[in-house]
Structure 1
Amino acid sequence: MIDKVDEINKIYELLNSNKLNEAEILINKLFKLNPENIELLNLKGELFKKLGKYLEAKDIFIKVKELSSPNIPVQVFLNLADAHISLKEYDDAEFIYNNIIAMNPNNIAVLNGLGRVLVNKMMYQQALNQFNKALALDESNYQILFNIAYCLKYLEKYNESIDVYKKYLNKLNMNQTNTKHLAAIYLEMGINYLAIEEFDDALNYIMKSKDLNPNNPHTLSNLGLLYVKTDRLDEAESLFVDTYNLDKTTDIFAYNYCHILLLKGKDDEAKEIIEKFISEHPKSYRMIKLIEKVKFNKSNNMFNWVKDIHNDSETPLKVKIESGFGMFSILDKEKEYEEAFEYLFEANNLYNEMQGYSYERILKFHDYCKLIRYADNTHITNQKKHPTPIFIVGMPRSGTTLTEQILDSHSLVHGAGELRVIEEIAKKYEISNYSQNEFLVNKETLKKFQEDYFEEIKPLNIDNKPYFVDKMPGNYLFVSLIKAALPWSKIIHCKRNPMDTCLSIYTKKFVEDSNAFYSLDGIARSYISYNDLMHHWYNKFEENTIFDVIYEKLLDNPEEKVRGLLSYLGLEYEDKCLEFYENERFVKTASSVQVRKKLYNTSVERWKNYEQQLTPLYKELKQAKIV
């Protein structure tokens, strides 16, 4: 033992106040006197951790463990496990924690540590279980709330995560809380609000975070994502460029930058960055989501990278699903259809098992939409006051993005992309509450609906153009509501070969909640219900209320069909509408790459490449007299 108690205490103070140079000098001075003093070794390990020298820290803690044997304190194991986590040696850390739990299942620090390991292994539900156990043992340990909220976010329980963060904030002493930690909390809350599309709250918390930590690339990146969601796309691009240049080693920054490049049609630039990043970070899973948007083939290193990740037994389930879609995309382009479909079938099955869906709920809502009645709307027209909304509806992958791109290329039309405005306002006034047998929408509600709609879209139509495109395919559910609340609006129905449409849906992992689209049976049933509802609208409304754009006919005779479309809208023909591929607007849907190209017919009758595999789908559609 050494009798330098005051100096030991001084080291603790220096480490706690991050005066690392002074701490190192004092540790080295005392270390020369007693190089095997366990307390000094622990302090040296802590110093190395703070200096980012994790390998040296691990070696020190291993030595402490050897010197402490056979009665090794739990804290020694905790220090060693923490070093393993810092080195991303998660299995080693997990092994240590599980051994301690086997002897003492109620050690809060161990449960919390194991939860951290599981978070890093993307096993968020298991991590949450450990954090909840720790909190149950000591509810006053409010620091665990941060970890719980963090897991809830990744489990997509965003509202619960927000509530826990608020509870955590209420327990913090703001005067004693580290500024960067507070900024991290605000950022996490902003991310949650962004996920549930509460954009004002998201902006509020992200800007709070930015004020406290202005150069944090994670904050700037999420602000960019918010700007993408709110169509401030040039500002988003600027932020993504900045964050990528600040940190080219973190996958989310490279991903966001490549994603924005792809949205702008800069495929070659994105491909170069993706290839470089993956060569340097082969364990980065995030880039898999971009594989189908970039032209890779089997001879490219990217193919082997995706395949290795897919076949790795340690690959998380969500990543395995993404890699399955990625493998399909590459093999489909190589015309190796049988093997391609095997990956596609597996990916869809895995996702379907994980999510599930209720077809009965879908069918019930379709039937309910037919029953909604609307009051007389003769006197609610404000056509001179507002732009003419153009609603593009239909099934996903039926040419809706192409149609919008054509219209946005017209000088009098603004294409706003996919908006959930109609759906959200319908929820607000309980019009979409299908628990009722029948619903009458009165005149006052229709007026409020109209006012709310134009209030929502006003910030999007920044050039104040007289025509405004709202391209949400699922708005086919609300055709009757749209015509009641916005009687001068235009409805464009995009149609495509049903088998091609259904196959194309099956090949995509949708961002939004479309759980019925991950099985052939679910897609068939969804298509049949959609087809039935559209026939109901055709029978209900006068001829020419709904204008059909048939994908195959548009490809065969583009000028004639575009002229007909513009005539229906009351617009003069402009050549730019046929040069839509030169339009530099951002396109945020799965078709963002396709609409950068001239019209092509390689996707027509594509389903025949998979005719045998799609037999069950074909039979269901044939029985419904759709094919």
Structure 2
Amino acid sequence: MAASQNQHTQKIVSLLNSGQLGAAAKAAKTAMKAFPKAPQFPNMAATIAAQSGDPRAAVQFFAKALKLSPGDPGIQENLIQSLVESDQHTKARELISKLVVKRPSSDRLWQLLAVSHMRCNEHAESIDAATKAIAVNASNALAFNLRGISRKSLGYHAEAVVDFRKSHEIKPRDPDPLANMSLPLAELGKPEEAFEACRMALELDPNHRIALFNNAVLLNEHGRIEDAVGVFKRLLEIDPLHAEAWSELVQTQSKEDNLRLEPAIRYAITKTPRKSENQIHLNLALGNCLFQKGDFEGASAALAVSNELAFKTRDVDTRNAQRQLEAIKDRFPKDGTLSTAGDTQSPCPIFIIGQPRSGTTLVEMMVSSRSDVASCGELPFANQLLIELLKNQEEFDPKTFSHSYRSSLPALPSGAEYFVDKMPSNYRYVGFLLSAFPNAPIIHVERDPRDVALSMWRSHFPAGDMDYTSNLEAMARTANIYRKYMNHWKSIAGNRMLTLDYSDIVTDIEGSSRKIADLCEVEWTPEMMSPEQNKARVKTASVVQVRHGVHTKSIGGWQRMERALLPFTKALDHELWPDLD
């Protein structure tokens, strides 16, 4: 006697409850053949595929279930979720746009749209969609969490923490918002609260991957290297395929320890889908392992895979960067004068600029070794304010800018007379910064662009202003634009900007630190020669290097991978870089 629909359903559920996903999938397909017009079986097959980590297969089954039950909101939303998880965003958004007309009060649809935008690094759009979900349902904890993630990605850390706290308030047993708020709390200068957020998340779930990863990152940033290594290893015991943990571990622990990791990283690579974004971090980890091993050919191959995959996820337009350069130069002509009507309050900013990976973190640790100089790391505020001003072609008012900039600062320690903003890409905005803060010194760090390129090629940067770092030709074009900026600013800044070459810094730390002290009009102290002793938080890719003290090992390192870097060196404008010939 043939089994009934109810018997098929019970069998599938029983297999699912016992964790037999493969057998449950076969049972669902058998039921689909026996009852081709019953929507629950393709729906169950889709759910099983989704739980098995195959969202593309889930899409096919959910689409079939939806044909059999066209108005089912649950199936509609599950189909959209699978489309989003398989990165079929155009189809997902088309379906959402049709459904929100019929179901405008569905917070779930807006929430799914927010996830889609977030996965595409479209954080402003994600915030808008999450806000609409919250407007419909103020108790949607996930929407608050999503909005917090996107706000954090855009550098709005205080607003992100508010969202994460609200999400936690709504769902106090969910460790996600607690783990997510840890890093923005650290950005706001609240390290104790950041560690506490991780602790609370791990109390709810000791194996929570985000909490473990963020905890390790925080430990690393605060110089607790051995503790960080221990947490990364624990995370990899729980999840041997955690790509970012592999990448961070390789950059954190010693060369000797890394040489033992190669087989495990290669295994993780074979077990991860070839086109997965996780391959970016896994191949980066492998490339850096092989580089330390001295296998530069193997390192070149792995790093090429990592960067090629990263570049496919990014939108690089150096033509826009060139247009921005011309627009800014027009605002600050060489024969013009800078405004002195800006902010002269204390604490006074010290701006450190240069190409990423040029030594700006080292200089920050040198100058902030003084007790009256607060280290603030890479502050996004100048870029956030000026990018909108340039986009809208608005007039620049130094007082308005300085007020908005200063009001965004994290809490500074008492007794601080200066604070350091070490955002390398502020080299674009020197004229604005000097006008807004007439007393502020600017320290410009130069480094051989080929060594910079190698360092960027061996690192992974978040999407946004650093998109170009995953393509050698784009890196060279950006380096050329940087050089044009600095040639222009040197004719305007006068003695308010000090240019130091990285090689001079590491070969003469005392002389360089004295020049910095003179520029900033502070008394030189011996501590400025030992930046590795500085207990300030370091959150850039330089976190481990700066803790190892000043050394000359990386000078000329590009020659070890000269052949791999040929696309970069060929694209450099040698009229701008005559000293390289």
TM-score band (shorter)?
0.7 to 0.9
1:586 Cα deviation (Å)?
A: 1.1
1:334 Cα deviation (Å)?
A: 0.8
Question: Closer, same or farther in 2 for the Cα pair 1:367/1:579, shift >3 Å?
Answer: same
Rounded to whole Å, the distance in 1 between the matches of 2:475 and 2:33 is 63
Percent of aligned pairs with the same residue? 21
Q: For residues 184-229 of structure 1, give each alpha carbon's deviation from its aligned partner in whole angstroms, at most 9, with x where no partner exists.
A: 2322222233233334432332222222223421121122122123
Q: For residues 569-621 of structure 1, give each alpha carbon's deviation from its aligned partner in whole angstroms, at most 9, with x where no partner exists.
A: 22222222222212222111110111111111110110110122333433434
More displaced 10-residue stretch of structure 1: 147-156 or 330-339: 147-156
Q: Give the corresponding residue for 2:382.
A: 422
Select 2:547's aligned residue among 596, 608, 613: 596
1:247 Cα deviation (Å)?
A: 2.0
Q: Give the corresponding residue for 2:39.
A: 74
Select 1:231's aligned residue among 180, 183, 189: 189
Rounded to whole Å, the distance in 2 between the matches of 1:615 and 1:41 is 62
Select 1:524's aligned residue among 476, 489, 492: 476
Q: For residues 432-482 of structure 1, give each alpha carbon's deviation from its aligned partner in whole angstroms, at most 9, with x where no partner exists.
A: 34x86xx864xxx2222233333333x432324112211111111121222
Question: Closer, same or farther in 2 for the Cα pair 1:115/1:297, shift >3 Å?
Answer: farther
Q: Give the corresponding residue for 2:568.
A: 617
Contact 2:32 2:38 in 1 (8 A): no
TM-score after normalising by structure 1: 0.81
Select 1:305's aligned residue among 261, 264, 269: 264
1:302 Cα deviation (Å)?
A: 3.5
1:342 Cα deviation (Å)?
A: 1.6
Contact 1:490 1:569 in 2 (8 A): yes
Q: Give the corresponding residue for 2:122.
A: 157
Rounded to whole Å, the distance in 1 between the matches of 2:338 and 2:518 is 25
Select 1:474's aligned residue among 402, 425, 440: 425
Contact 2:213 2:235 in 1 (8 A): no
Question: Closer, same or farther in 2 for the Cα pair 1:300/1:281, shift >3 Å?
Answer: farther
Select 1:183's aligned residue among 141, 144, 154: 141
| 1:204 maps onto 2:162 in alignment | yes
Q: For residues 148-175 of structure 1, give each alpha carbon's deviation from its aligned partner in whole angstroms, at most 9, with x where no partner exists.
A: 3322222222333333334334444x7x
Contact 1:237 1:260 in 2 (8 A): yes
Rounded to whole Å, the distance in 2 between the matches of 1:61 and 1:353 is 36
1:507 Cα deviation (Å)?
A: 2.3
Q: Give the corresponding residue for 2:485.
A: 533
1:54 Cα deviation (Å)?
A: 4.9
More displaced 10-residue stretch of structure 1: 326-335 or 544-553: 544-553
1:279 Cα deviation (Å)?
A: 3.1
1:59 Cα deviation (Å)?
A: 5.2
| 1:272 maps onto 2:230 in alignment | yes
Q: Tell me which amino acid in the other structure corresponds to 2:456.
A: I
Contact 2:374 2:419 in 1 (8 A): yes
Rounded to whole Å, the distance in 1 between the matches of 2:553 and 2:351 is 27
Rounded to whole Å, the distance in 1 between the matches of 2:403 and 2:78 is 52
| 1:284 maps onto 2:242 in alignment | yes
Q: Give the corresponding residue for 1:510.
A: 461
Q: Give the corresponding residue for 1:449.
A: 401
**1:27-42 pair list within 5 angstroms:** 38-39=5-6, 42=9
Q: Give the corresponding residue for 1:18.
A: none
Question: Closer, same or farther in 2 for the Cα pair 1:317/1:626, shift >3 Å?
Answer: farther
Rounded to whole Å, the distance in 1 between the matches of 2:451 and 2:459 is 13
Alignment length (residue pairs): 571
1:391 Cα deviation (Å)?
A: 0.8
| 1:576 maps onto 2:527 in alignment | yes
Question: Closer, same or farther in 2 for the Cα pair 1:297/1:350, shift >3 Å?
Answer: farther
- Gap regions ≥5 residues in structure 2: none
Q: For residues 492-528 of structure 1, give each alpha carbon's deviation from its aligned partner in whole angstroms, at most 9, with x where no partner exists.
A: 1111223212222232222242222222222222222
Rounded to whole Å, the distance in 1 between the matches of 2:521 and 2:573 is 36
Contact 2:354 2:425 in 1 (8 A): yes
Q: Tell me which amino acid in the other structure corresponds to 2:429.
A: F
**1:334-349 pair list within 5 angstroms:** 334-349=293-308
Q: Give the corresponding residue for 1:140.
A: 102
Q: For residues 406-451 of structure 1, give each alpha carbon's deviation from its aligned partner in whole angstroms, at most 9, with x where no partner exists.
A: 11111221111111222233346x2x34x86xx864xxx2222233
Q: For residues 250-286 of structure 1, give each alpha carbon's deviation from its aligned partner in whole angstroms, at most 9, with x where no partner exists.
A: 3212211111111122222222332333233223334
Rounded to whole Å, the distance in 2 between the matches of 1:133 and 1:170 is 21
Q: Give the corresponding residue for 2:276.
A: 317
* Divergent runs of 4+, >6 A: 43-49, 101-108, 374-379
Question: Closer, same or farther in 2 for the Cα pair 1:250/1:90, shift >3 Å?
Answer: farther
| 1:195 maps onto 2:150 in alignment | no
Contact 1:397 1:504 in 2 (8 A): yes
Q: Tell me which amino acid in the other structure corresponds to 2:516.
A: L
Rounded to whole Å, the distance in 2 between the matches of 1:56 and 1:313 is 19
RMSD: 3.6
Q: Give the corresponding residue for 1:398.
A: 358
Select 2:324's aligned residue among 340, 365, 370: 365
1:65 Cα deviation (Å)?
A: 5.6
Select 1:262's aligned residue among 211, 217, 220: 220
Rounded to whole Å, the distance in 1 between the matches of 2:123 and 2:385 is 21
Contact 1:244 1:257 in 2 (8 A): no
Secondary structure class of the residue paired with 1:599: coil
Q: Give the corresponding residue for 1:15.
A: none
Rounded to whole Å, the distance in 2 between the matches of 1:496 and 1:71 is 67
Secondary structure class of the residue paired with 2:358: coil
1:64 Cα deviation (Å)?
A: 11
Question: Closer, same or farther in 2 for the Cα pair 1:615/1:276, shift >3 Å?
Answer: same
- Gap regions ≥5 residues in structure 1: 1-35
Q: Give the corresponding residue for 1:462.
A: 413
Q: For residues 1-41 of structure 1, give each alpha carbon's deviation from its aligned partner in whole angstroms, at most 9, with x where no partner exists.
A: xxxxxxxxxxxxxxxxxxxxxxxxxxxxxxxxxxx775477
More displaced 10-residue stretch of structure 1: 390-399 or 157-166: 157-166
Secondary structure class of the residue paired with 1:593: helix
Contact 2:453 2:475 in 1 (8 A): yes
Question: Closer, same or farther in 2 for the Cα pair 1:46/1:411, shift >3 Å?
Answer: same
Q: Tell me which amino acid in the other structure corresponds to 1:306.
A: I
Rounded to whole Å, the distance in 1 between the matches of 2:395 and 2:132 is 41
Contact 1:297 1:330 in 2 (8 A): no
Q: Tell me which amino acid in the other structure corresponds to 2:296.
A: Y
Rounded to whole Å, the distance in 2 between the matches of 1:67 and 1:572 is 79
Contact 2:354 2:427 in 1 (8 A): yes
1:529 Cα deviation (Å)?
A: 1.9
Q: Give the corresponding residue for 2:500.
A: 549
Q: Tell me which amino acid in the other structure corresponds to 1:330.
A: C
Contact 1:42 1:64 in 2 (8 A): no
Q: For residues 519-569 of structure 1, give each alpha carbon's deviation from its aligned partner in whole angstroms, at most 9, with x where no partner exists.
A: 222222222221222122222243x32112221112212122212221222
Rounded to whole Å, the distance in 2 between the matches of 1:139 and 1:552 is 61
Rounded to whole Å, the distance in 1 between the matches of 2:21 and 2:362 is 57
